[in-house]
Amino acid sequence: MVTKVMQIIFSPVLALVVGVFFLGLARKIIARIHWRWGPPLVQPVIDIVRLFYQKSVSHGLVFDLGIILSLAGSIVVVLFLPFGRWCPLDGSGGLLVILYIMLLAPLGMALSGGEGANPNISIGISRKLILSLGYEVPLLLVLLAVMTRYKTISIMEVVNVQQGTSWSIISFPLVLSGVSYFLILPAILGLRPFDVSSAPQEISSGLMAEYGGKYLALATIEHAFVLFISIALFVNMFLGGAANPIIFFVKMLVVFVPGLFIHAVFPRFRVEQAVKYLWKWPTLLAFLGLIMTMVIGG
């Protein structure tokens, strides 16, 4: 019981550390690709601390609550994901719950954005929700394929089976789903070419246009959590989870760094081009994966 409580408290902290490290690593690697030196690896920490020390301007109660709702949603999703061998809320619904609560993040920010009196925020919200519509369709098909293959909705079960046999991504019907999830991962993370919803040059960073001070700090923390959640979900479902956290972390790095390479050199898609891409090949592959899984494994 006590270990459970300790896990519940410790798990989001660990996710935050990993997420913030990924933010710093992203800036460093992109700088090195651009032939510059780049900031120190702890730069996001310095940014967040500075943002907490700034006095911010609030636009009302709903403006405050929206970002807190979004952050709360992300923290709850972290509790359902296994990190290595431990998973705080294991037998309570697993993949289905994650599918629902993962949507709280953009919706929470949309709620607070409606209160800020800036038209750039509405444009940012509409782009982000359209992009969510784009990637939720293949994501749902991929998760259904995994659930059908392993006949369970608990992620810990999926990890254990993969540890026993082989990784999902090299077993036949799920390789299609795995490739499809890897193709839509930049859209979930907000990396280029899919960072249309927070474009600094076009819509003055969209959703975060009126966030100053502590709101921006919370938004950066929430971005770190979203990084952790999406990559950890992929590693757990397709790359076999891991026996201990260190190997898990190495696998997350292996998934994240190619996304950064693409982010550093690509320009941005428009939102309709992004949705057209997301509904063409990834959806097709995910759909084929689901059909094959139902035919073969079902």
Partner 1 sequence: MDRNQITKWLKAPAKMANKYSLHAIYFCTGCGIIEVPPVITARWDAERFGIIPAATPRQANLFLITGYVSVKTLRAIIRTYEQMPEPKYTVGFGSCPINGGMYWDSYNTIKHLDKYIPIDGWIAGCMPRPEAIFIAVTHLWTLIEKDMANGYIRYKDNYESYRSNQEMALGKLEWPPLYPASDEHRGGE
Q: Which residues are near partner 1 by CB under 8 A?
A: 27, 31, 34-40, 43, 46-47, 49-50, 53-58, 200-201, 204-205, 208-213, 216
- The minimum distance between CB 237 and partner 1, in angstroms, equals 35
Nearer to partner 1, 48 or 278 (CB): 48
- The minimum distance between CB 35 and partner 1, in angstroms, equals 5
Nearer to partner 1, 11 or 205 (CB): 205
Cβ-proximal residues to 250 (8 Å cutoff; 6+ apart), any chain:
none
- The minimum distance between CB 200 and partner 1, in angstroms, equals 4
Nearer to partner 1, 31 or 294 (CB): 31
3-state secondary structure of 86: strand
Integer Cα distance of 106 and 55 in angstroms: 25
Cβ-proximal residues to 259 (8 Å cutoff; 6+ apart), any chain:
185, 186, 189, 191
- The minimum distance between CB 17 and partner 1, in angstroms, equals 18
- The minimum distance between CB 223 and partner 1, in angstroms, equals 13
Nearer to partner 1, 159 or 222 (CB): 222
Residue 237 identity = M
Task: Say how far residue 179 (Cα) sits from the centre of its chain.
Answer: 17
Integer Cα distance of 289 and 240 in angstroms: 18
Q: Which residues pair with 83 in a beta bridge?
A: 86
Nearer to partner 1, 93 or 212 (CB): 212
